């Protein structure tokens, strides 16, 4: 799998993509993540990639030409399953979407910026518009980093213990149960006895009950 990210702020994406599981997955060649500076595709002598909007509102709009050049170049090199555009008015990114995208081939993520992007880009190049939640970010870079993190850790082999991705919160629409480690007692606060019992069936039952109870209490919407 290869993920190409097109952005006006490539620096912002360097560190989030190069630590921990994302770093290891790239070192193991499970995924290749390539960040492109949109300005490299500008033909303007000042490397401009934005301009004033027709119709005279405030704010700048990302131009179609550099985006066309970047996407056309990438598509000439390999096939892509989706051209994703990060935007607050997109479809909500969630665990099922992360699962689907982790099984995709190659992805382009175009980070939105400025007031918006020439709508023709959305009509003619973008195949999927995605938001990470109902709040407004300065740009799509942090959203792209979050999506990459959620997608890449689901690629088989990215996480050492494969069970641990399967038991994540949300993976089966339930929140994860509490976990504990040594010491079994700290300042009089004890780890639940069942976890120390060695009785695996009882432990699994307890975990499932805890998941259900926490989901009912904290996220009843997941059970609907």
Residues in contact with ligand 6GU by the rule CB under 6 A: 86-88, 112, 131-133, 135-137, 139-140, 143
Long-range pairs, 96-105, Cβ under 8 A, ≥24: 97/130, 98/147, 98/150, 98/151, 98/154, 99/154, 101/147, 101/151, 102/1, 102/151, 102/152, 102/154, 102/155, 104/1, 105/1, 105/79, 105/80, 105/81
Residue 110 annotated as binding site: no
Q: How far is the CB of 66 from ligand 6GU (least distance, A)?
A: 19
Q: How far is the CB of 127 from ligand 6GU (least distance, A)?
A: 15
Residue 132 annotated as binding site: yes
Q: How far apart are CA 148 and CA 13, in angstroms?
A: 10
DSSP 223: G
Residue 135 annotated as binding site: yes
Q: How far is the CB of 130 from ligand 6GU (least distance, A)?
A: 6
User: Which residue lies nearer to ligand 6GU by CB, 36 or 174?
Assistant: 36
User: Which residue lies nearer to ligand 6GU by CB, 131 or 211?
Assistant: 131
Residue 180 annotated as binding site: no
The CA-based dihedral angle spanning residues 113, 134, 132, 137, taken in that order and rounded to the nearest 10 degrees: 30
Residue 112 annotated as binding site: yes
Q: How far is the CB of 98 from ligand 6GU (least distance, A)?
A: 14
HSE, side-chain direction, 13 A CA sphere, residue 56: 0
Among all chains, which residue has been given the structure tokens 């989901």?
Answer: 215
Residue 160 annotated as binding site: no
Q: How far apart are CA 78 and CA 17, in angstroms?
A: 22
Contact (Cβ atoms closer than 8 angstroms) between residue 177 and residue 122: no
Residue 137 annotated as binding site: yes
User: Which residue lies nearer to ligand 6GU by CB, 145 or 154?
Assistant: 145
Contact (Cβ atoms closer than 8 angstroms) between residue 20 and residue 48: no
User: Which residue lies nearer to ligand 6GU by CB, 148 or 159?
Assistant: 148
User: Which residue lies nearer to ligand 6GU by CB, 10 or 139?
Assistant: 139
Q: How far is the CB of 147 from ligand 6GU (least distance, A)?
A: 8
End-to-end CA distance of the chain: 34
User: Which residue lies nearer to ligand 6GU by CB, 138 or 197?
Assistant: 138
Q: How far is the CB of 135 from ligand 6GU (least distance, A)?
A: 5
Annotated binding site for S-adenosyl-L-methionine: 112, 132-137
Annotated binding site: 112, 132-137
């Amino acid at each position: 799998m290869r993920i190409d990210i097109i952005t006006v702020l490539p620096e912002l994406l360097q560190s989030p993509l190069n630590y921990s599981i994302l770093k290891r997955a790239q070192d193991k060649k499970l995924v290749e993540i390539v960040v492109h500076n949109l300005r490299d595709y500008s033909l303007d002598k000042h490397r401009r990639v934005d301009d004033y909007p027709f119709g005279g509102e405030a704010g700048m709009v990302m131009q179609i030409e550099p985006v066309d050049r970047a996407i056309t170049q990438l598509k000439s090199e390999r096939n892509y399953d989706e051209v994703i555009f990060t935007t607050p008015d997109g479809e909500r990114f969630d665990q099922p979407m992360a699962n689907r995208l982790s099984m995709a081939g190659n992805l382009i993520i175009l980070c939105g910026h400025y007031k918006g992007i020439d709508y023709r880009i959305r009509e003619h190049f973008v195949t999927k518009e995605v938001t990470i939640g109902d709040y407004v970010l300065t740009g799509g870079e942090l959203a792209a980093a979050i999506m990459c993190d959620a997608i890449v850790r689901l690629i088989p082999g990215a996480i050492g213990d494969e069970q641990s991705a399967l038991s994540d919160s949300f993976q089966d629409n339930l929140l994860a149960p509490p976990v504990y480690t040594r010491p079994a007692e700290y300042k009089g606060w004890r780890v639940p006895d069942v976890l120390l019992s060695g009785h695996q069936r009882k432990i699994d039952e307890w975990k499932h009950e805890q998941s259900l109870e926490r989901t009912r209490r904290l996220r009843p919407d997941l059970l609907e």
